Structure 1
Amino acid sequence: MKHLVIAIAILFFGFSTYCQQSTTSLLSNLNDAITQAPQFDDGKLKSISELKINLAKKDNNSPGYKFFVYSRLYDEYKIFKYDSAYSYSKKLLEAAYQLNDQSKINYAKIKQGFILLSSGMFKEAYDSLKRIDISHLPDTSKAEYYSLMARYYYDLADYDNDAYHTPEYNKQGNNYLDSAFNYYDTTNFEYLYFRGLKDIRSNNRPHALVNFKKIMSNPNLSYHEIALTASTLSDIYIQNGQIDTATALLVKAAIADIKSSTKETAAIFNLASILFKQGDLKNASTYIERAINDAVFYGARQRKVQVSAILPLIEGEKISRVENQKKTLITYSAIATLLLIALVTLIVVVFRQVAKLKAAEKIIMAAHAKQQEINTKLLEANKIKEEYIGYFFNGNSEFFTKIERFKKSVEQKIAERKLEEIKFLVNNINLKKEKEELLKNFDKVFLKLFPNFIDEFNALFAEEDKIKLRDNELLNTDLRIFALIRMGIHDNEKIAQILEYSVNTINTYKTKIKNKSVVPNEDFEHRIMDIKTV
């Protein structure tokens, strides 16, 4: 007993590890398998096509050969497509009658009963199975017959699913399996599987768990055997509340069904039901659609009813979620719209403030430029003032010295009564020379302030009209007029007074000079004022 417990613990640990793969990873594998399903079905159809080609050959018309090929075609179709499987079960039965072989007739009836039961046609399946003469069956067929009858009662129990009929049907199914066990090899798949199935129906889940784990540890199982075992074993874990392990088993069963092109299957339907309860609507919807397509393709009436019962629930939940998402989206959209309006308002305010700042900046820059210009003019005016004040005091000092000498000479001559000499002194004063000396000093001071004046002035004229000064000439009248303008004296009367010309003469000079210039007359004086001091 101790060794049995240890063995069970080892089996349980090993199988628990086998089932611990990430559900997400397993579902991804299942989705990949669904994508590849057409390729697996193509392999099935290719095998069927080859059998039909062999059957169509003229030299293969014997009832015995037909029975053999019909049996093969039935096996290909029995979990793939009901209509075709049922059709070949009838042809199989016809070939058996042609052979007049009672064991083959009963064999064909068992096959027909299986396909009718798989399609959910309980009455027809029962009628077919009850017409079988068990006494003419070999042991292997007896095992198949009894296990098929057990399955018939188990399916009735599941279909009725009530407290009165279900226990009785399960009991009859168990009795038939007891009869089947007498003819099964205790080491083969069918024996172990039906042992576990009987334990489930007898509410002996721990013992059933041992049997199914033992089957799953066999590395030589076919895809269909893996699917059948994993799907049935998942029921035990569902009843034990171990949903994650059950889900992993159902995924493995569904993948195995796809790889074996099994369309008469419950694994993917049960998987969809679990995922729906867990809230995984996306995968649940995908798998229930797959289950519907399989049920429709196979033609399983009972399965279509089961699948159709959960489909509206899934679709209703999807619609409910979509509505909730729609409401959430509307809420978020409203919030986003308000935020967008606030953002646009903020942007407008910011742009207006920026525009105001730019306008203020332009005003400040203009004021700054104006201030710079004023400062430059003030500096220039200060420099001119300093130079000409110096010149004025120096000139006046010399003038006063001359006056002082002249006064002393006159006073001396008056005292001495030398009138002729006084007259000589007065006549000796050369006003023209004094005027020329005054202008010459003006020219010196001006050119000291504006050393580039002549070059920049000439730049306003064509080559032939440029002013050419005589030797020892600093400025001429033309230049002096505009030199005075550059000094800030714009009044023609003042200019005429300084240079001792009439106002008309000054106007004539200015007009003649402007007309020769290459710049417009109205811009000429502006260009003169742009000439800078050093």
Structure 2
Amino acid sequence: MKYKYICLLLLLTAGRTYARSGNDSLLDRLNWTIEKAAMYDAEKVQQINILRKTLQKDEHLSLQQRYTLCQQLYEQYKVFKYDSAFAYAQQLQALAREMNDPARINYAGIKLGFVLLSSGMFKETGDYLAAIDVAALPDSARAEYYTLKGRYYYDLSDYSSDQYFAPGYTRQGNSCMDSALILFKPHSFNYEYNYGLMYQKMGNMDSARYYYVRAVALKNLTTHQVAIATSSLGNIYIRTGKKDSAIIMMTKAAIADIASSTKETTAMFILAGLLFKEQDVKHASRYIEYAVADASFYGARLRKVQVSAILPIIESEKINTVEGQKKLLFAYAAIVTLLLLLLVWLAVIILRQYKKLQAAQKVITAAHTLQQEINDKLMEANTIKEEYIGYCFQVNSAYLDKIKKFKKLADQKLTDNKYGEVKYLVNNIDLKEEREELFRSFDRIFLKIFPNFVGVFNSFFREEDQIRLKDNELLNTDLRIFALIRIGISDNVKIAQILEYSVNTIYTYKTKIKNKAIIPKEEFEERLMDIKAM
């Protein structure tokens, strides 16, 4: 029972929920209730089983006790399952006859008429109602009889739905309702609800709404009564064109029907139709399927016909919607595929451009490296030129000073006719010493430019073949040959002239030294030129 109370509490607060969140919030609550439907039904079946076991196992029950249990089982089944409700109504009538109780016999006839009318069997309902002796009924049962008969005529009016028979059925229904209302306690649920129903059938929607609202507002309503009142109020809103209010009421009614395990209902069916008109095919499809399942479970023939009429329409629209979604999805897929192909094409172009850029970068890097090497060599060449120009000026200046002094001294001797002393001066010039001084000057300036030359040059040879310089010796002839090559004088004739050797001697020196090297001969001079200047 606790689940019914929870659902009823949710239902009574649903109006505030709608005002806050709209129809979707209330439909979400209905969907949640549908998920719990099996739980509510299981609770009802449990109650039924307890009553049935009591009725079947206790052989010492009196006819009165058996009648009461059958009546309770009928009340459990009357809006849950038609065939079971009909069977227990028949048992009620059989037990009443066995007790020879006219009031109970006629009361059982009312119960049989109710389930027959709920199943849509109008002729059979009319037969049972005609057989009832109203005078034998107490007031409470008589009010129920007139209410059932009024509903019977109203249903006939709705079913015939024509201008000839329908008004007459409605008038007869109103007459029955007048008789019932006199017997109901004022301001009770049956009083307020049936007044609303009568005014609705009379076409007075304002008065009908007034009484239905009063019925809904009553305290201590059962969940089933909430379902009846809200469903009827929803019908009023439908007729007055208030679609949103109609959806709210029908949703509340559907929630209450599920919570009370009511299978003989129209709320879910009507709600599905309303939502279908609002283009909410998803919810409409789910609710119409649920309504079909309820109608089939209960066994209401008329209800199954009504529900089945709209089911194909909704399902067809659902299929159309799905097909539309498929087409839309296909269009999206095509667009995405085209975009993907475009992306791949752009990626290929970008990759090609990137490779070209990399190749250009490599060319630029190589050119930059080459330019840097050229710049380094130019700087090196400039350094060498600057140093050697300075060296040449210094050497030439020194020689010019010597020549100037020699000329002055020779002029003085010749003026004094001292020819012998002039000869002595000429013979006193030491050319070997002058050449060695020239080499020492070259050695100093070269090592100033290439301070690591001797060490790097010796790394080209094994230790035992490396050049060992004497004390106070900067370079020797072997080193001078390759020092001249390093500063750009590679011609053997020029080297021979500078060092005052024959060309063959220079060639022999170079060949002998290269043969001792641990690096390939063809790389020797390239490695020599790689020796960096400071």
Calculate the TM-score normalised by the size of structure 1. 0.88
Corresponding residue for 1:290? 290
Q: Does 1:26 align with 2:26?
A: yes
Deviation (angstroms), 1:256 = 0.8
Q: Does 1:394 align with 2:425?
A: no
Corresponding residue for 1:88? 88
Query: Distance in 2 between the 1:182 and 1:402 partners?
Result: 158
Corresponding residue for 1:313? 313
| Residues 105, 455 of structure 1: alpha-carbon distance in 2 compared, 3 angstrom cutoff | same
Match runs of 1:316-395 below 5 Å: 316-395=316-395
| Letter paired with 2:221 | L
Deviation (angstroms), 1:72 = 1.0
| Residues 447, 117 of structure 1: alpha-carbon distance in 2 compared, 3 angstrom cutoff | same
Question: Can you list the C-alpha shifts for 1:115-139, whole angstroms capped at 9, x where unaligned?
Answer: 1111112222222222223232222
Deviation (angstroms), 1:340 = 4.0
Corresponding residue for 1:469? 469
Deviation (angstroms), 1:237 = 1.4
Match runs of 1:183-222 below 5 Å: 183-222=183-222
Structure 1 residue matching 2:437: 3-state secondary structure:
helix
Deviation (angstroms), 1:505 = 4.5
| Residues 138, 490 of structure 1: alpha-carbon distance in 2 compared, 3 angstrom cutoff | same
Query: Distance in 2 between the 1:386 and 1:235 partners?
Result: 113
Deviation (angstroms), 1:364 = 2.7
Give the length in aligned residue pairs.
Answer: 520
Deviation (angstroms), 1:49 = 1.6
Question: Can you list the C-alpha shifts for 1:43-99, whole angstroms capped at 9, x where unaligned?
Answer: 111111211222232444443322221111111111111122222222222322332
Question: Can you list the C-alpha shifts for 1:282-320, whole angstroms capped at 9, x where unaligned?
Answer: 211121121111111111111111111112222222233
| Letter paired with 2:140 | T
Question: Can you list the C-alpha shifts for 1:202-247, whole angstroms capped at 9, x where unaligned?
Answer: 1122222221111111121111001001101111111111111111
Deviation (angstroms), 1:489 = 2.3
Asked whether the equivalents of residues 17 and 25 of structure 2 are also in contact (C-alpha less than 8 Å), the reply is no
Structure 1 residue matching 2:484: 3-state secondary structure:
helix
Asked whether the equivalents of residues 106 and 132 of structure 1 are also in contact (C-alpha less than 8 Å), the reply is yes
Deviation (angstroms), 1:442 = 1.0
Gaps of 5+ in 2: 1-13
Gaps of 5+ in 1: 1-14
Question: Can you list the C-alpha shifts for 1:443-483, whole angstroms capped at 9, x where unaligned?
Answer: 01101111222233344455555433211100122322221
Asked whether the equivalents of residues 18 and 26 of structure 2 are also in contact (C-alpha less than 8 Å), the reply is no
Query: Distance in 2 between the 1:445 and 1:303 partners?
Result: 121
Query: Distance in 1 between the 2:235 and 2:18 partners?
Result: 14
Q: Does 1:280 align with 2:280?
A: yes
| Letter paired with 1:476 | N
Question: Can you list the C-alpha shifts for 1:304-347, whole angstroms capped at 9, x where unaligned?
Answer: 11111112222222233333334434444444444444444444
Q: Bigger CA drift: 468-477 or 326-335?
A: 326-335
| Letter paired with 1:328 | L
| Letter paired with 2:470 | R
Corresponding residue for 1:51? 51
Asked whether the equivalents of residues 193 and 229 of structure 1 are also in contact (C-alpha less than 8 Å), the reply is yes
Query: Distance in 2 between the 1:344 and 1:526 partners?
Result: 50
Query: Distance in 1 between the 2:493 and 2:364 partners?
Result: 39
Match runs of 1:93-492 below 5 Å: 93-402=93-402, 428-461=428-461, 463-492=463-492
Taking only aligned residues, the RMSD between alpha carbons, in angstroms, comes to 2.9
Query: Distance in 1 between the 2:403 and 2:16 partners?
Result: 132
Asked whether the equivalents of residues 189 and 218 of structure 2 are also in contact (C-alpha less than 8 Å), the reply is no
Asked whether the equivalents of residues 20 and 245 of structure 1 are also in contact (C-alpha less than 8 Å), the reply is no
Query: Distance in 2 between the 1:349 and 1:338 partners?
Result: 16
Query: Distance in 1 between the 2:164 and 2:19 partners?
Result: 39
Query: Distance in 2 between the 1:513 and 1:497 partners?
Result: 20
Query: Distance in 2 between the 1:160 and 1:514 partners?
Result: 127
Query: Distance in 2 between the 1:142 and 1:19 partners?
Result: 40
Query: Distance in 1 between the 2:88 and 2:280 partners?
Result: 41
Query: Distance in 2 between the 1:504 and 1:109 partners?
Result: 148
Question: Can you list the C-alpha shifts for 1:347-376, whole angstroms capped at 9, x where unaligned?
Answer: 444443443333333323322222222222
| Residues 409, 27 of structure 1: alpha-carbon distance in 2 compared, 3 angstrom cutoff | same
Query: Distance in 1 between the 2:25 and 2:138 partners?
Result: 46
Q: Does 1:528 align with 2:495?
A: no
| Residues 98, 415 of structure 1: alpha-carbon distance in 2 compared, 3 angstrom cutoff | same
Asked whether the equivalents of residues 67 and 95 of structure 2 are also in contact (C-alpha less than 8 Å), the reply is yes
Q: Bigger CA drift: 36-45 or 318-327?
A: 318-327
Query: Distance in 2 between the 1:161 and 1:508 partners?
Result: 134
Q: Does 1:37 align with 2:42?
A: no
Asked whether the equivalents of residues 93 and 109 of structure 1 are also in contact (C-alpha less than 8 Å), the reply is yes
Query: Distance in 1 between the 2:330 and 2:349 partners?
Result: 28
Question: Can you list the C-alpha shifts for 1:160-200, whole angstroms capped at 9, x where unaligned?
Answer: 21222211211121122222234322342222211111111
Structure 2 residue matching 1:24: 3-state secondary structure:
helix
Deviation (angstroms), 1:380 = 1.6
Match runs of 1:474-513 below 5 Å: 474-503=474-503, 505-513=505-513
| Residues 523, 93 of structure 1: alpha-carbon distance in 2 compared, 3 angstrom cutoff | farther
Deviation (angstroms), 1:496 = 3.8
Corresponding residue for 2:9? none
Structure 1 residue matching 2:532: 3-state secondary structure:
coil
Q: Bigger CA drift: 150-159 or 353-362?
A: 353-362
Deviation (angstroms), 1:487 = 0.7
Asked whether the equivalents of residues 54 and 60 of structure 1 are also in contact (C-alpha less than 8 Å), the reply is no
Asked whether the equivalents of residues 19 and 249 of structure 1 are also in contact (C-alpha less than 8 Å), the reply is no
Query: Distance in 1 between the 2:244 and 2:233 partners?
Result: 13
Asked whether the equivalents of residues 17 and 26 of structure 2 are also in contact (C-alpha less than 8 Å), the reply is no
Deviation (angstroms), 1:264 = 0.8
Asked whether the equivalents of residues 143 and 183 of structure 1 are also in contact (C-alpha less than 8 Å), the reply is yes
| Residues 510, 45 of structure 1: alpha-carbon distance in 2 compared, 3 angstrom cutoff | farther
| Letter paired with 2:250 | L
Query: Distance in 2 between the 1:235 and 1:18 partners?
Result: 21
Query: Distance in 2 between the 1:240 and 1:451 partners?
Result: 111
Query: Distance in 2 between the 1:454 and 1:412 partners?
Result: 48
Q: Bigger CA drift: 118-127 or 179-188?
A: 179-188
| Residues 224, 433 of structure 1: alpha-carbon distance in 2 compared, 3 angstrom cutoff | same
Deviation (angstroms), 1:491 = 3.1
Asked whether the equivalents of residues 269 and 291 of structure 1 are also in contact (C-alpha less than 8 Å), the reply is yes
Structure 2 residue matching 1:531: 3-state secondary structure:
coil
Asked whether the equivalents of residues 120 and 300 of structure 1 are also in contact (C-alpha less than 8 Å), the reply is yes
Deviation (angstroms), 1:265 = 0.8
Query: Distance in 2 between the 1:370 and 1:406 partners?
Result: 52
| Residues 517, 202 of structure 1: alpha-carbon distance in 2 compared, 3 angstrom cutoff | same
Calculate the TM-score normalised by the size of structure 2. 0.88
